């Protein structure tokens, strides 16, 4: 029928990861997306063999400032959200040795100086965790003053990074 969508597009599903949340998937028709990473950090991990991926949108570096909040919303903090992301991926049979990671965000989006340096601290906490886990972020896009949006296509491993400056696509497969 003219103008109708193709069969594959009828079954695609977008999963939106909000601030302080995460999602994992191993279904090829799923796209994981998170929007407007300012000082927050987006962490993407993808196993190209298992075709399993996950995305975390963390807001703060250290849960010690709000233990009750961390207990209720562990993905909000780097120190509790990152372990949660990688445990969830292991549950989908993702192999840590095959994971390809990407990090974006950590911008300074306030008008004027950021005395708390939340973006910088989020990035540092994320890279410290990844290094301790023996993982490396491939071509991270961090810092600056622009927000970023991420889309990970689970079926192909393609990651799209959008910012006011433009859009790039890279393969994690």
Residue 101 known to be catalytic: no
Q: In the block, which residue shows the tokens 């540092």?
A: 124
Bridge partners of 42, per DSSP, are 57, 104
Q: What is d(CA 27, CA 154) in angstroms, rounded to the nearest whole number?
A: 7
Contact 37, 149 (CB under 8 A): yes
Q: What is d(CA 115, CA 161) in angstroms, rounded to the nearest whole number?
A: 28
Select which of 25, 30, 40, 76 is catalytic: 40
Closest C-alpha among 17, 67, 16, 25 to residue 47: 25
Q: Is 74 helix (H, G, I), strand (E, B) or coil?
A: helix
**H runs (alpha helix) in 91-172:** 118-132
Question: Which pair of tokens denotes residue 56?
Answer: 């975390």
Residues designated catalytic: 40
């Amino acid at each position: 029928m003219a103008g109708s969508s193709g069969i594959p597009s009828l079954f695609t599903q977008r999963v939106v990861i909000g601030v302080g949340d995460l999602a994992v998937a191993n279904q090829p028709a799923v796209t994981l997306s998170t929007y407007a990473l300012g000082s927050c950090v987006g962490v993407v991990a993808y196993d190209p063999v298992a075709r399993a991926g996950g995305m975390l949108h963390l807001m703060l570096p250290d849960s010690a400032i709000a233990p009750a909040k961390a207990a209720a919303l562990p993905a909000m903090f780097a120190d509790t959200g990152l372990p949660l992301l990688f445990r969830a991926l292991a549950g989908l049979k993702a192999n840590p040795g095959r994971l390809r990671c990407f990090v974006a965000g950590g911008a300074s989006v306030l008008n004027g100086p950021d005395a708390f340096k939340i973006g910088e601290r989020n990035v540092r906490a994320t890279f410290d965790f990844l290094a301790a886990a023996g993982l490396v972020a491939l071509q991270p896009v961090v810092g600056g003053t622009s927000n970023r949006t991420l889309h990970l296509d689970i079926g192909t491993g393609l990651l799209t990074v959008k910012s006011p400056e433009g859009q790039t696509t890279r393969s994690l497969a």
